[in-house]
């Protein structure tokens, strides 16, 4: 009986490992496919198929993409919005969280509620749109990162972290004559670097991946973020490419096609994430854990 | 810090308790001026970008006129809401939202639990770590990129999936353009993108299970499956319950980005959700008041749901989000 069970377990472990290998393949293969397709010669790739290796080899699609004005401007726009939104959002959240973590500040309870309330209820898309219109934020770069940078969730995460800093640390600094300002900047901020890095990374990924803000609030497509440009290329290939001045006269003779260009664009916008991902992954996991601890 | 401050403070004011109460508060405020300064930018941001739109929702009760603005536009009471429910469109959109959400919940909720249980059984730690790292990845890749991949793979002419179907002897199928398969695509790709990330909390819960329980069970002759059933699952059940209830709180979010990127005219009747409807009505067609009414309807119900589900989560003895 015991023997039989252990064999059952062995089989389970074997199947489990196989299932996980299969899962890895399922997760990775789409990107492999995209890379291989983007490197292929269009007339060889046109029949689709499996793409374990590129069919023929050409970098022409990437050259076209990297020469393309709206992809380059989209890339820059996204980079600026990412850096701007992530740093502004982190600083604002850290400042707000510090005040809200101070029990002796009169009005703290009320202020906490004021912030907290926005987690359940919001005006919705249309009032936001009209507000941006009123403030002349529509069609500006500001709308890409300014309205969305402060998240109450992030404030709560940082606040929880501040709570874990022993009071004695601040007290002793104060006894030594440090002002509230220098306590914040010289003790709290340096101590909370890890949590701030995590928040900044969360925000950065959010901004890098954001396409909706551009699509909703920016009409001038030259101001769109990279993901919005990519969306247009994916969903509206022919028109988008014509607008961007890419004309493919003969798919069979040319070294690029709409499809290889689409694939190359997907890769160009994925690569930044893939490059930083291995390094930041553990911060994200940690961040999620901090976030799930009750505040 | 607070102790020191108050002791100094009471030392000064002890003599005249009445006049001092106000003075004390004021002094407290003055002493904390730096804290107020610190919170000010965040507060302004919050008021401008969160509370002003909340006020702007009054246009749901007005006939918004662009030239008159939010304040001057005439009140119309519940007219917009009546209009909303008198067109067949909005009830349909509500129904779609709930159906898609529930489908995603039905299949998507158990998926990360199962994956976490399987990951937990991997003996080779490096293999486990590698698998985790790879299954987390889709969470960081935008829906735009996945939409591109999904469209490529499901392309009825030369898509990868259809190539496989052809090899297996089937006929290629337009999965994204067909009402009978579109929602399945939504559910499957949603699981695909979120399953790895969803395991994080479960894996943490699994790591917290007392290993002595397993040892004792081993001595009693329990096999792996019995341990899983009688130890592991009961131990993480509270986490499962909490996440389930909290998930119900978000039931009106059927996945705006995903659907926005994948839907098309052919599947519109079964794919159109509240968010996409608000976008098309409220912004594209500039029916601001109607769009705001639809949006408000959603946010009110969503708020009630979140509060209710949190209450329930707290009641069953688990931790809600607060």
Q: Which of B35, B116, B236 to probe by mutation at the A interface, max A CB count within 10 Å?
A: B35
- Do B40 and B176 share a domain, yes or no? no
pLDDT in tens, A242-276: 665 666 555 555 777 888 888 999 999 999 888 88
* pLDDT at residue B14, rounded to an integer: 46
pLDDT of A43 strictly over 80: no
For residues A68 and A250, the answer to whether their CB atoms sit within 8 Å is no
- Do B164 and B91 share a domain, yes or no? yes
| B53/A128 Cβ within 8 A | yes
Q: Given B42, B67, B92, which residue is the final one in a domain?
A: B67
| A13/B4 Cβ within 8 A | no
* pLDDT at residue B5, rounded to an integer: 44
Token digits of residue B90: 């909005």
| A92/B148 Cβ within 8 A | no
**CB proximity B6 to A under 8 Å:** yes
- Do B128 and B85 share a domain, yes or no? yes
How many C-beta atoms surround the C-beta of residue A236 within 10 A? Answer: 12
- Do B168 and B281 share a domain, yes or no? yes
* pLDDT at residue B10, rounded to an integer: 43
Nearest CA in chain B to A209: B142
* pLDDT at residue B9, rounded to an integer: 45
* pLDDT at residue B301, rounded to an integer: 93
Residue B62: strand, helix, or coil:
strand
- Do B83 and B62 share a domain, yes or no? no
Let me know if B39 is exposed, middle or buried by CB neighbors in 10 A (0-12, 13-18, 19+). buried
Query: Does a structural domain hold residue B321?
Result: no
The pLDDT profile of chain B, 322 residues, written as one tens digit per residue, is: 334 444 444 444 444 555 556 678 888 888 888 899 999 999 999 999 999 999 999 999 998 888 888 888 888 989 999 988 888 889 999 999 999 999 999 999 999 999 999 999 998 999 999 999 999 999 999 999 999 999 989 988 888 899 899 889 999 899 999 999 999 999 999 999 999 988 988 998 898 888 889 889 988 888 888 888 899 999 898 889 888 888 888 899 999 999 999 999 999 999 999 999 999 999 999 899 999 999 999 999 999 998 888 888 777 765 554 4
Task: Say which residue the tokens 């440090």 belong to.
Answer: A178
pLDDT confidence of A215, banded at 50, 70, 90? Answer: very high
- Among A29-43, A63-77, B7-21, B244-258, where is mean pLDDT lowest? B7-21
This prediction has a pTM of 0.87
**CB proximity A169 to B under 8 Å:** no
- Do B59 and B93 share a domain, yes or no? no
How many C-beta atoms surround the C-beta of residue B260 within 10 A? Answer: 22
- Do B26 and B125 share a domain, yes or no? no
The rounded distance, in Å, linking the Cα atoms of A77 and B101 is 33
For residues B54 and B60, the answer to whether their CB atoms sit within 8 Å is no
Nearest to B56 among A103, A114, A130 (CB): A130
- Domain of residue B93, residue span: 79-315
The rounded distance, in Å, linking the Cα atoms of A49 and A253 is 20
The rounded distance, in Å, linking the Cα atoms of A162 and A179 is 18
pLDDT of A45 strictly over 80: no
| B225/A171 Cβ within 8 A | no
Give A 138-157 residues with CB within 8 A of chain B.
146-150, 155
* pLDDT at residue A197, rounded to an integer: 87
- Do B164 and B33 share a domain, yes or no? no
The rounded distance, in Å, linking the Cα atoms of B19 and B21 is 6
- Do B246 and B164 share a domain, yes or no? yes
User: What value does the mean pLDDT take over residues A221-247?
Assistant: 77
| Domains identified in chain B, total number | 2
- Do B28 and B96 share a domain, yes or no? no
Residues of B in contact with A127 (CB under 8 A): 52-57, 59, 292, 295
Residues of B in contact with A30 (CB under 8 A): 149, 153
**CB proximity B71 to A under 8 Å:** no
Give B 154-173 residues with CB within 8 A of chain A.
155, 157-160, 162-163
Residues of B in contact with A285 (CB under 8 A): 136, 200
The rounded distance, in Å, linking the Cα atoms of B95 and A86 is 37
Q: Provide the ipTM.
A: 0.88
pLDDT confidence of A277, banded at 50, 70, 90? Answer: confident
- Do B97 and B227 share a domain, yes or no? yes
| A125/B291 Cβ within 8 A | yes
For residues B64 and B281, the answer to whether their CB atoms sit within 8 Å is no
**CB proximity B26 to A under 8 Å:** no
Domains and CATH numbers, chain A: 69-245 (1.10.3720.10)
* pLDDT at residue B33, rounded to an integer: 86
* pLDDT, mean over chain A: 85
Min Cα distance A272 → chain B (Å) is: 10
For residues A92 and A146, the answer to whether their CB atoms sit within 8 Å is no
Query: Does a structural domain hold residue B43?
Result: yes
* pLDDT at residue A111, rounded to an integer: 94
**CB proximity A259 to B under 8 Å:** yes
The rounded distance, in Å, linking the Cα atoms of B160 and B204 is 36
Nearest CA in chain B to A15: B118
Query: Does a structural domain hold residue B320?
Result: no
More confident position, B174 or A52: B174
| A5/B163 Cβ within 8 A | no
- Do B111 and B196 share a domain, yes or no? yes
pLDDT of A105 strictly over 70: yes
Query: Does a structural domain hold residue B72?
Result: no
B272: domain CATH number? 1.10.3720.10
Query: Does a structural domain hold residue B96?
Result: yes
| B6/A150 Cβ within 8 A | no
Nearest CA in chain B to A26: B192
User: What value does the mean pLDDT take over residues A185-207?
Assistant: 89
* pLDDT at residue B255, rounded to an integer: 93
């Amino acid at each position: 009986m015991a023997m039989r069970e252990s064999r059952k377990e062995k089989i389970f472990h074997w199947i489990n490992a196989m299932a996980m290998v299969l899962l890895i393949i399922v997760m990775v293969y789409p990107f492999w496919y995209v890379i291989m397709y983007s490197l292929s010669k269009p007339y060889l790739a046109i029949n689709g198929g499996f793409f374990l290796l590129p069919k023929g080899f050409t970098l022409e699609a990437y050259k076209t993409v990297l020469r393309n004005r709206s992809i380059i401007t989209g890339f820059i726009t996204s980079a600026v919005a990412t850096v701007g939104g992530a740093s502004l959002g982190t600083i604002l959240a850290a400042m707000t969280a510090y005040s809200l973590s101070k029990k002796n500040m009169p009005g703290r309870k009320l202020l906490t509620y004021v912030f907290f309330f926005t987690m359940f209820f919001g005006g919705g898309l249309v009032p936001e749109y009209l507000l941006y219109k009123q403030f002349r934020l529509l069609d500006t770069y500001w709308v890409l990162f300014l309205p969305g940078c402060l998240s109450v969730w992030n404030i709560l995460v940082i606040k929880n972290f501040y709570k874990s800093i022993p009071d004695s640390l601040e007290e002793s600094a104060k006894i030594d004559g440090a002002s509230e300002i220098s306590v914040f900047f010289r003790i709290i901020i340096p101590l909370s670097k890890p949590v701030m890095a995590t928040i900044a990374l969360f925000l950065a990924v959010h901004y890098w991946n954001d396409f909706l803000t551009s699509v909703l609030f920016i009409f001038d497509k030259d101001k769109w973020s990279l993901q919005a440009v990519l969306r247009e290329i994916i969903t509206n290939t022919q028109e988008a490419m014509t607008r961007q001045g890419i004309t493919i006269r003969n798919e069979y003779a040319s070294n690029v096609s709409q499809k290889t260009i689409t694939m190359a664009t997907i890769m160009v916008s994925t690569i930044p994430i893939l490059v930083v991902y291995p390094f930041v992954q553990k911060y994200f996991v940690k961040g999620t854990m901090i976030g799930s601890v009750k505040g | 810090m607070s102790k020191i401050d108050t002791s100094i403070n009471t030392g000064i004011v002890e003599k005249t308790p009445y006049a001092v109460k106000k003075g004390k508060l004021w002094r407290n405020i003055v002493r904390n001026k730096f804290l107020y300064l610190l919170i000010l930018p965040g507060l302004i941001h919050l008021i401008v970008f969160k509370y002003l739109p909340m006020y702007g929702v009054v246009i749901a009760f007005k006939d918004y006129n662009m030239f008159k603005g939010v304040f001057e536009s005439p009140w119309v009471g519940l007219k917009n809401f009546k209009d909303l429910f008198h067109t067949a469109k909005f009830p349909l959109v509500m129904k779609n939202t709930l159906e898609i959400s529930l489908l995603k919940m039905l299949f998507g909720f158990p998926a990360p639990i199962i994956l976490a249980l399987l990951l937990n059984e991997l003996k080779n730690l490096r293999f486990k770590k590698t698998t985790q790292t790879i299954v987390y990845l889709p969470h960081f890749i935008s829906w735009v990129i996945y939409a591109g991949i999904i469209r490529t793979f499901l392309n009825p002419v030369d898509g990868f999936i259809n190539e496989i179907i052809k090899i297996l002897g089937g006929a290629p199928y337009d999965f994204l353009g067909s009402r009978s398969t579109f929602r399945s695509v939504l559910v499957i790709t949603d699981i695909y993108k979120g399953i790895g990330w969803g395991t994080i909390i479960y894996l943490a819960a699994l790591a917290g299970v007392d290993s002595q329980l397993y040892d004792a069970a081993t001595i009693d002759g329990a096999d792996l499956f019995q341990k899983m059933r009688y130890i592991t699952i009961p131990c993480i059940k509270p986490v499962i319950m909490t996440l389930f209830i909290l998930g119900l709180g978000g039931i009106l979010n059927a996945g705006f980005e995903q659907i926005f990127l994948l839907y098309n005219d052919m599947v519109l009747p079964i794919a159109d959700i509240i968010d996409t409807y608000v976008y098309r009505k409220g912004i594209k067609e500039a029916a601001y008041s109607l769009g705001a009414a639809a949006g408000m309807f959603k946010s009110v119900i969503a708020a009630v749901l979140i509060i209710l589900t949190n209450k329930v989560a707290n009641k069953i003895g688990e931790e809600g989000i607060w």
